[in-house]
Chain A
Amino acid sequence: MNHLSVLLKKEWLEASRSYKLLWFPVVFMFLGIIQPLSSYYLPQILELAGGLPEGVNIALPQITAEDVLASTVTNQFDQLGLLVIVIGMMSIVVSDKDNGMLTFILTRNASLGEYLLGKWIGQAAIVAGAVATGMLIAGLYTSYLYSFVPLSRIVAGLGVYYTWCLFMVTLTLLMGSLLSRSSGVAVVSLFVLIFLKVATALGSGFQIMNPAHLTNHAVHIMISGSALPHFMTTAAVTLLLIVVFLILSHFYLSRKELPAS
């Protein structure tokens, strides 16, 4: 596994040179801050925006700390965050295929499996760092502005949510292996992910098998301390799909004719 460490080192260097190590966590930090802040200051924001028309009275619901964290995940991370993950990862395999670096790496002693694993672990680590940073910042702000949320719940929810992020990363990696343009990778990945995400609103038994449903599990864990029923099934299906995607990437790339330059 010596090659893997060389490849991972390269991923790290690339991520730091392209400032991905910086802007990924910064984006998620921003997403983590915005929900607690905007919920807390909503009355003032409404006031500043000109207030409500006369005679209109709205009763703002009593928001709890748990609600804020839950909407951070569903409204911020799962929308803008998802977009950022896909856009940030869309060219990871495509560019190597295009410029011939993949051929270079494979005409050395490294195997395709090591290459893909290197990419996957590298990107997964960047996303892990970013999502965790964003989540912890959200927790910090929520605890300060609202009330204290036990760290253990945040961490547990984060862990479950991260499995869904891992699914996003792996899907994008698979699309990168199958397709030859990064715009195509982004469009197809986003389509699939948003479709799954929208499908969570439909309810019904299918949700158990939907990786996007992990967000709801994560939210429930943060709110109540326990996941929704059938959590293990959803998690198992997601992990299984991740493994299948990795195998498919390998299967496809090993049969594809790579450009020589």
Chain B
Amino acid sequence: MSILQVNHLQKKYGEQEIIKDIGFQIQQGEFSALLGPNGAGKTTIIKMLIGITKPSGGQILFQGERHDRKRPFIGYLPQHPTFYSWMTGKELLTFLGRLSDIDQESLEQRMHELLELVGLSKAKNKRIGTYSGGMKQRLGIAQALIHQPKLLIMDEPVSALDPLGRRDMLELLKSIKQNTTILFSTHILHDAEELSDKILILNQGELLFSGTLHQVLESHQQPIFIIQAPRVHEWAPKLVNENIVESIDPTGCFVKVRVKDIASGRIWLLDRIRSLQLPIQKFELVQESLEDIFIRMVR
């Protein structure tokens, strides 16, 4: 059953269309990633989903129904949760839990479980001001789950963390994935690849793709040649050939070349390498990664 259904969602600020007619669904138990570069409209969509921004058009349905008060359905973690630095972790959970109408007894129980889950049991009586970025984010997860929402929505939950905090967070998300439906936004493709069942690719307010990771690779993945040789920028421009080469993407010490036809492209490239006398270290035909596809789509 679909937990969340979004139809023809639009948002305009004056003349500017931030979100242009977007529709998607999220099924029970799915882990979906909302992918897009900065400014694509990810946060705007999330704000409309959690009900703090009014859509200019379209509808948002939870379990098939419209709800003005979506709050019981949703747990929300913003991009930079600050909370009150003078509160302790436990006090914050109590405060927000009580505002979600959880009675004191079940709240105690739930708080205990969640603090255990996010690994903050020891720090629960410390002021939030003393928490690290990763701890705040984990506390954010705990507060978002305290009222047992049907859908957990997170805005860039791992983007701002250091590698260690990120790893912790990804592990935590994996463990809550089993019994929670999750939608999270990110601009880091690797995180989406690692966690999600489904991805929604967004650019400039338009939904470019929605489907499983497998589907996006199947329908959009193309082979590319990777050529590695010293002084990339000297010879990369010499590979231009409108009839054969589709795009050249020099990155670091190698060049990604997309060709129109693999067979003739390979012969032409090898010829070219020989005539330029490139001291190549690597010549490889690979399948595009999600990142390559994503960059191609949003350009």
The verdict on B211 contacting chain A, using a C-beta distance below 8 Å, is no
The verdict on B166 contacting chain A, using a C-beta distance below 8 Å, is no
Q: Nearest Cβ distance between residue A215 and chain B, in whole angstroms?
A: 34
Contact B87 A109 (CB under 8 A): no
Q: Nearest Cβ distance between residue B113 and chain A, in whole angstroms?
A: 19
Contact B86 A260 (CB under 8 A): no
Q: A17-B86, A103-B52 are in contact. Are A261 and B99 (CB under 8 A)?
A: no
Contact B87 A107 (CB under 8 A): no
Q: Nearest Cβ distance between residue A123 and chain B, in whole angstroms?
A: 16
Point out which of A108, A257, A258 has the most chain B C-beta atoms below 10 A from its C-beta. Answer: A108
Residue of B nearest to A106 (CB): B52
The verdict on A13 contacting chain B, using a C-beta distance below 8 Å, is yes
Contact B95 A6 (CB under 8 A): yes
Residues of A within 8 A of B86 (CB): 13-14, 17-18
B window 70-106: CB within 8 A of A = 71-72, 74, 76, 78-84, 86-87, 91, 95-96, 98-101
Residue of A nearest to B103 (CB): A2
Q: Nearest Cβ distance between residue A203 and chain B, in whole angstroms?
A: 47
The verdict on A22 contacting chain B, using a C-beta distance below 8 Å, is no
Q: Nearest Cβ distance between residue A193 and chain B, in whole angstroms?
A: 28
The contact of B52 among A17, A110, A258, by CB within 8 Å, is A258
The verdict on A148 contacting chain B, using a C-beta distance below 8 Å, is no
Contact B100 A108 (CB under 8 A): yes
Contact B52 A108 (CB under 8 A): no
Q: Nearest Cβ distance between residue B154 and chain A, in whole angstroms?
A: 11
Contact B71 A108 (CB under 8 A): yes
Residue of B nearest to A102 (CB): B52
Contact A109 B96 (CB under 8 A): no
**Per-residue contact bits, chain A 15-49, to B (CB 8 Å; 1 contact, 0 not):** 00110000000000000000000000000000000
Q: A99-B82, A103-B78 are in contact. Are A260 and B99 (CB under 8 A)?
A: no
Q: A17-B86, A260-B46, A260-B52 are in contact. Are A109 and B99 (CB under 8 A)?
A: yes
Residues of B within 8 A of A108 (CB): 71, 96, 99-100, 147
Residue of B nearest to A10 (CB): B95
**Per-residue contact bits, chain B 147-181, to A (CB 8 Å; 1 contact, 0 not):** 10000000100000000000000000000000000
The verdict on B50 contacting chain A, using a C-beta distance below 8 Å, is yes
Residue of A nearest to B53 (CB): A257
Q: Nearest Cβ distance between residue A253 and chain B, in whole angstroms?
A: 11
Contact B50 A109 (CB under 8 A): no
Residues of A within 8 A of B98 (CB): 2-3, 6
Contact A109 B82 (CB under 8 A): no
Residues of B within 8 A of A2 (CB): 98, 101
Contact B52 A100 (CB under 8 A): no
The contact of A101 among B72, B84, B147, by CB within 8 Å, is B84
The verdict on A144 contacting chain B, using a C-beta distance below 8 Å, is no
Residue of B nearest to A98 (CB): B82
The verdict on A104 contacting chain B, using a C-beta distance below 8 Å, is yes
Contact A100 B82 (CB under 8 A): yes
Residues of B within 8 A of A257 (CB): 47, 52-53
Q: A13-B87, A13-B91, A260-B46 are in contact. Are A109 and B100 (CB under 8 A)?
A: yes
Contact A110 B99 (CB under 8 A): yes
Contact B82 A101 (CB under 8 A): yes
Contact A3 B99 (CB under 8 A): yes
The verdict on A105 contacting chain B, using a C-beta distance below 8 Å, is yes
Contact A100 B78 (CB under 8 A): yes
How many Å lie between the Cα of A17 and that of B76 in the bound state? Answer: 27
Residues of A within 8 A of B91 (CB): 13
A window 212-261: CB within 8 A of B = 257-258, 260-261
Residues of A within 8 A of B69 (CB): 109
Contact B53 A107 (CB under 8 A): no
Extra pairs beyond A6-B99, A103-B78 (12, CB < 8 Å): A7-B99, A13-B86, A100-B78, A100-B82, A104-B81, A104-B96, A104-B143, A107-B52, A108-B99, A109-B71, A257-B47, A261-B80
* 5 A-B pairs with least C-beta separation: A261-B78, A108-B99, A99-B82, A261-B79, A17-B86
A-B CB contact pairs (8 Å), 15 listed: A3-B99, A6-B99, A17-B87, A18-B86, A99-B82, A99-B83, A100-B80, A103-B52, A107-B52, A107-B76, A109-B72, A110-B99, A257-B52, A260-B79, A261-B78
